[in-house]
Amino acid sequence: MGAGKAKFEGSFTQQEPLPEDAIAAALDVLRHGRLHRYNLADGEAGEAALLEAEFAAHTGARYCLAVASGGYALATALRALGVGPGEPVLTNAFTLAPVPGAIASLGARPVFVETREDLTIDMEDLAARAGASGARVLLLSHMRGHICDMDALGDLCARLGLTLIEDCAHTMGARWRGTPSGRHGAIACYSTQTYKHVNAGEGGLMISDDPDLMARAILLSGSYMHYPRHRAAPPPEAFARHRLTTPNISGRMDNLRAAILRPQIPMLDARREAWNARYRRIEEGLSGAPGIALIKRRVGEEFVGSSIQFRLPGREGAEIADFVAACAGRGVELKWFGAPEPHGFTSRYAHWAYADPPVLPRTDAALATLLDMRLPLTFSLEDCALIARIIREEAEALGGAG
Ligand SMILES: Cc1ncc(COP(=O)(O)O)c(C=O)c1O
């Protein structure tokens, strides 16, 4: 880095403070001490049960369950569908480690599906691998908020007899053609971990319209026989069918996290707008930059731009590593999905050796030069303009056409 070059001083991992009403609600829970979701005073609903009712209403789902993490939600969704050891489960090759990890946690087998250039699942390959593996479940990850054509995917799943679980860890608050992300499959799972669209440190949410799936999920999560205390749960008959045959695999959410989350649910729309303003500012700053290719977003995809991805087409690994280092030297943190070794939160399918992944040439091509950047809401629009300028200058400094 030469003298006089601008440097960004902000933090890529600093979130906004929690809203004051979330802090007040958390203090109330701490003061009364009833943190366990089933520890309720007479007539009290409890924060966890209220959160479930409010998130169900927000998404339009009939039922909702709050759990300990997004990864736990994914595993519970698979268990609720009866996925068992050795069973193949289709999933995107472009996702993060908790997704195949949830499949592996049941002793089931991830079957990775190829990735299109726009970072969504390759439906042709999905059909081929569904046929070859005999899988009956697709765990679809809306990775980094990229939503495929959900109408086409729904038709394909129906044709292939696949049950769809949506991993909405990166699409809470997003929509496909006006329908909330998570309303296209049998079950959807969300994460409420700090780097997601609502922040409780850890946590997860599941939604479904299916009474049997949700009764099983609630029982699995460790409801003991307290399920009547839920407010976004199926009717007693559904529990009667499953209560003695469903194991307790505890992973409940507590009232403290739920209290922190409740005031954040109505903020999701405003947060989407705030994130997208930042996303668009970076996109504007990078558009037309020599050597940089942005990912085209599809019509109908109302995404949440909490991160942005772009490529350096034609660049070799060493050049990309130098570029990432040069940006880091100027305060801009990029993650490279083509890196030979996993780093921090970032890994890719080839690194998950336990799942014995095949070589997926289209995914390799899609990820080889792919860079990824978080956009915390603590960045101002001016910050975003500066970040884009730094990236652009460093891409120009690479010289020669990539
Ligand atoms: C794509 C994706 N799915 C699922 C999860 C799981 O969420 P959690 O960290 O709450 O277990 C994550 C978390 O990073 C994720 O990135």
The enclosing domain of 244 has a CATH number of 3.40.640.10
Q: Is residue 94 part of a domain?
A: yes
- 393 CA distance to ligand 1 middle (Å): 33
Name the H helices within 232-360: 236-242, 255-261, 268-286, 317-329
| Atom from ligand 1 closest to the CA of residue 192 | 10
The amino acid present at 347, given as its one-letter code, is S
Residues 279 and 296 reside in one and the same domain? yes
Residues 61 and 191 reside in one and the same domain? yes
Residue 275, domain extent: 268-398
Ligand 1: which residue has its CA nearest to atom 8? 70
Show the CA angle centred on residue 197, arms to residues 196 and 200, nearest 5°.
70
| Atom from ligand 1 closest to the CA of residue 95 | 1
- The pLDDT tens digits of the residues spanning 330-344 come to 999 999 999 989 988
- 95 CA distance to ligand 1 middle (Å): 9
The verdict on pTM exceeding 0.95 is yes
Q: Is residue 6 part of a domain?
A: no
For the segment 350-362, the average pLDDT, to the nearest whole number, is 96
Residues 303 and 193 reside in one and the same domain? no
Residues 256 and 366 reside in one and the same domain? no
| Atom from ligand 1 closest to the CA of residue 69 | 10
| Atom from ligand 1 closest to the CA of residue 167 | 3
- The pLDDT tens digits of the residues spanning 192-237 come to 999 999 999 999 999 999 999 999 999 999 999 999 999 999 999 9
Task: Give the model's pLDDT for residue 1.
Answer: 46
Q: Is residue 383 part of a domain?
A: yes
Residues 173 and 202 reside in one and the same domain? yes
The yes-or-no verdict on residue 384 having pLDDT over 90 is yes
Cβ proximity of 145 and 305 under 8 Å: yes
CA gap 360, 341 in Å, rounded = 17
- 204 CA distance to ligand 1 middle (Å): 9
The yes-or-no verdict on residue 10 having pLDDT over 50 is yes
- The pLDDT tens digits of the residues spanning 304-336 come to 999 999 999 999 999 999 999 999 999 999 999
Ligand 1: which residue has its CA nearest to atom 7? 70
Ligand 1 is surrounded, with C-beta below 6 A, by 69-71, 95-96, 98-99, 141, 143, 167, 169-170, 191, 193, 204
**% the chain with pLDDT above 70:** 99
| Atom from ligand 1 closest to the CA of residue 189 | 4
CA gap 66, 256 in Å, rounded = 12
- The pLDDT tens digits of the residues spanning 53-94 come to 999 999 999 999 999 999 999 999 999 999 999 999 999 999
- 169 CA distance to ligand 1 middle (Å): 6
For the segment 364-380, the average pLDDT, to the nearest whole number, is 97
**Mutation test residue for ligand 1: of 13, 193, 309, 372, the one with most atoms within 8 Å of CB:** 193
| Atom from ligand 1 closest to the CA of residue 203 | 10
Please report the sign of the dihedral spanned by the C-alpha atoms of residue 216, residue 222, residue 226, residue 231.
Answer: negative
Task: Give the model's pLDDT for residue 401.
Answer: 54
DSSP assignment letter at 158 = H
Task: Give the model's pLDDT for residue 345.
Answer: 86
The yes-or-no verdict on residue 3 having pLDDT over 70 is no
CA gap 336, 323 in Å, rounded = 10
CA gap 179, 301 in Å, rounded = 10
Number of domains the chain is built from: 2
